[in-house]
Structures are given as structure tokens and as C-alpha cells.
């Protein structure tokens, strides 16, 4: 049962003395009801289309992705490896396989498949970001920055690329530039305690102790309690 619509007193009073007003108001309700009905139809149609799209996904790939998302990377790797062998030009399969290899300590294999994803889809900004993280893990910080730059060019609002670029710049002792990247992340999400902590490290490296200690304090305030230990060592 639908809830009763209670009209404001000035509308009910007006409706008694002005039948035309009531009809127009009622017509507005009908229009709104139709709009809501159309919206719901479109919404459920979209959900149905998404479900159909999910059902069209290869069952082997779908199961492997489920395992990956559950953190079972080794099990996911087995299914993804078989799937990509049979579908070497599948972008999604190569992307998940690259990440599974990255997470199971196979950097050479991961690099091969990140390269494949980018070859197949040169605008895959997430592949550039993840390949950049792989390069950073191999201490190729300049190469990683090139990939993070490309990721940001493709998606200027992709904060994870800014954050990781900041980490690589910090490793190269580009403290001011790295702090600027972390500031961009903080502007997007003022509650990102990791970004405050990372910016504090860069500011401290740039001899901005007072600003760094404020960032350490803000990071701790937002829930990164390990920052309190750093404050004791660097800010007292």
C-alpha cells in the first residue's frame, strides 16, 4: 500500500475554493508518477542489461576474477593463465593476469601482460598505473613516473596515479614535486590519512619540519595511529 499523500494546508484550502487548481495539482502528481515509473523502468532495464553482460562473460574468466577479488591470487592465476592462452587478445583477461602475476611475485610475467594490455588498448589508464607500480617495485622510478604521467593524461581525476607518482618522486628525492602530488590527492579527499602521512614525509625531506609535523598530526587524527610514533621521533 502506498503511503497517503498529505497536502499542505494552503493547497487543500485552495482546492476547495478552486477546483481548477486541484485538477492542475493532481495533473502534476500524475506527471511526477509517470516520470518515476519511466525512471524505474529505465533503471531496471539497465540492471537487466548489466546482468546479461555479466552472463555473457566467459565462465572461466568470471570465476578467476572472483578468486582474484577475494584475494586468492594463486588460484586466480591458474584460471587466468589458461583463459589468456585461449584468448590472447582479451584485454580484461590480460589485465587480471598481469596483476595476479604481480601479486604472486612474477614481475617478468606481469610486465609482459601489462605491455599486452596497453598494446591492445592504448587508453587503458589503469594498466599504465599498475605497470608504473610494477616498475616502481623494480626500482625503475623514472620509468614508473612516465607511466603514471600517461595514466593521468588519460584520466586526470585518477587519484591513485597521483599518489603513486608522488611515491616515486619521493624515492628520487623530488620532495617538492612529490608533496604537490599528495596535495592533489588531499584536495580530492581531505580524509585520506595515507596522503597526509606521505606528504609529511616529503615535506620533512624538504626541510619543512613544521608543515611536516602538522601533516603527521592530521594523519594520526584521521586514524593512522602509527603516525604518533613518527611524531615522537621527528616532531619533539
CATH of span 173-236: 1.25.40.10
Spans of all domains in the chain = 173-236
d(CA 165, CA 190): 19
> Whose grid coordinates read 529505465?
42
Per-residue pLDDT of the chain (236 residues; tens, 9 = 90+): 323 333 333 333 333 333 333 333 333 433 444 444 444 444 444 444 444 445 456 899 999 999 999 999 999 999 999 999 999 999 999 999 999 999 999 999 999 999 999 999 999 999 999 999 999 999 999 999 999 999 999 999 999 999 999 999 999 999 999 999 999 999 999 999 999 999 999 999 999 999 999 999 999 999 999 999 999 999 98
The three-state secondary structure class of 4 is coil
pLDDT at 8: 34
d(CA 236, CA 234): 6
Q: Which three cell numbers stand for residue 191?
A: 580524509
The number of CA neighbours under 13 Å toward the Cβ of 212 is: 20
Report long-range pairs for 98-107 (Cβ below 8 Å, ≥24 apart): 98/127, 98/130, 98/131, 99/68, 99/130, 100/68, 100/73, 100/76, 101/77, 102/130, 102/133, 102/134, 102/137, 103/73, 104/73, 104/74, 104/77, 107/134, 107/137, 107/138
pLDDT at 207: 97
pLDDT at 28: 43
pLDDT at 236: 83
pLDDT at 25: 36
Residue closest to 90 by CA, chosen among 76, 79, 80: 80
CB 163 within 8 A of CB 198: yes
Alpha helices (H) along the chain: 9-17, 19-56, 59-69, 73-86, 91-103, 107-120, 125-137, 141-154, 159-171, 175-188, 193-205, 209-221, 227-234
End-to-end alpha carbon distance in the chain: 65
The three-state secondary structure class of 22 is helix
pLDDT at 61: 95
Instruction: Return the exposure string of 24-53: e unless at least 16 CB atoms fall within 10 Å of the residue's CB, then b.
Output: ebeeeeeeeeeeeeeeeeeeeeeeeeeeee
pLDDT at 57: 67
d(CA 126, CA 157): 12
Amino acid at each position: 500500500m502506498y503511503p497517503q499523500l498529505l497536502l499542505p494546508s494552503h493547497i487543500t484550502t485552495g482546492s476547495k475554493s478552486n477546483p481548477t487548481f486541484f485538477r492542475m495539482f493532481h495533473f502534476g502528481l500524475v506527471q511526477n508518477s509517470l516520470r518515476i515509473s519511466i525512471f524505474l523502468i529505465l533503471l531496471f532495464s539497465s540492471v537487466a542489461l548489466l546482468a546479461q553482460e555479466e552472463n555473457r562473460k566467459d565462465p572461466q574468466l568470471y570465476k578467476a576474477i572472483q578468486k582474484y577479488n577475494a584475494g586468492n591470487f594463486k588460484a586466480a592465476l591458474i584460471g587466468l593463465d589458461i583463459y589468456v592462452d585461449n584468448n590472447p587478445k582479451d584485454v580484461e583477461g590480460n589485465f587480471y593476469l598481469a596483476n595476479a602475476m604481480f601479486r604472486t611475485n612474477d614481475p617478468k610475467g606481469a610486465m609482459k601482460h601489462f605491455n599486452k594490455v596497453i598494446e591492445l588498448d592504448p587508453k587503458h589508464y589503469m594498466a599504465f598505473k599498475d605497470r608504473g607500480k610494477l616498475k616502481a617495485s623494480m626500482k625503475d622510478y623514472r620509468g614508473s613516473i612516465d607511466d603514471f604521467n600517461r595514466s593521468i593524461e588519460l584520466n586526470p581525476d585518477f587519484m591513485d596515479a597521483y599518489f603513486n607518482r608522488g611515491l616515486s618522486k619521493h624515492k628520487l628525492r623530488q620532495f617538492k614535486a612529490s608533496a604537490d602530488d599528495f596535495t592533489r590527492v588531499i584536495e580530492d579527499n581531505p580524509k585520506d590519512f595515507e596522503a597526509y602521512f606521505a606528504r609529511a614525509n616529503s615535506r620533512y625531506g624538504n626541510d619543512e619540519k613544521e608543515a611536516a609535523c602538522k601533516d603527521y598530526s592530521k594523519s594520526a587524527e584521521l586514524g593512522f595511529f602509527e603516525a604518533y610514533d613518527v611524531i615522537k621521533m621527528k616532531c619533539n
